[in-house]
Amino acid sequence: MIAMIQRVTDASVVVEGVTVGAIKSGLLVLLGVEKGDTDKQSQRLAEKVLAYRIFSDQDGKMNLNVQQAGGQLLVISQFTLVADTKKGNRPGFSNGAEPAEAERLYQLFSEQCRQLNCHVENGIFAADMQVTSTNDGPTTFWLQV
């Protein structure tokens, strides 16, 4: 399971002209689910995302996590994160979980973050989404469990 996280000042997702999720300050989480990923990995990744200290403290150092900084999450499913790009000029997606399992784990990850007392907004699984964000820093990290 992979999470590409970006510290943002705002982020939103639009599907068919309708905003389905939006946050102010927080993390844009692009989530990729691979074959063999488990509920336990989802829980570990949720805990890691929420604990990751990439927000500035009063001294300007990255010492605060998203909740300490008063931020929220916008979680977007993104199967392209699990693409095999080692050979050729076209990505391979054989590493990706089957759609039903990927959606289940995507929803589970979001719910686990909510259970850890974080406000979570979502895109729509497998939809054609337009995601807009203002990356703060820019600050982007790749987390994998």
Q: Is 139 one of the annotated active-site residues of the chain?
A: no
How is residue 100 written in tokens?
């039903």
Of 50, 6, 27, the closest CA to residue 141 belongs to 6
| Active-site residue, from 6, 55, 79, 112 | 79
Cis peptide before 138 (omega within 30 of 0): yes
How is residue 37 written in tokens?
């990923």
Q: Is 41 one of the annotated active-site residues of the chain?
A: no
* Secondary structure class of 90 (helix, strand, coil): coil
Apex 30 CA angle, 126 and 2, nearest 5: 105
Q: Is 141 one of the annotated active-site residues of the chain?
A: no
| Active-site residue, from 38, 80, 130, 132 | 80
| Active-site residue, from 6, 67, 72, 78 | 78
The C-alpha atoms of residue 122 and residue 20 are separated, in whole angstroms, by 7
DSSP string, 111-140: HHHHHTT--EEE--TTS-EEEEEEEEEEEE
Cite the active site residues: 78-80
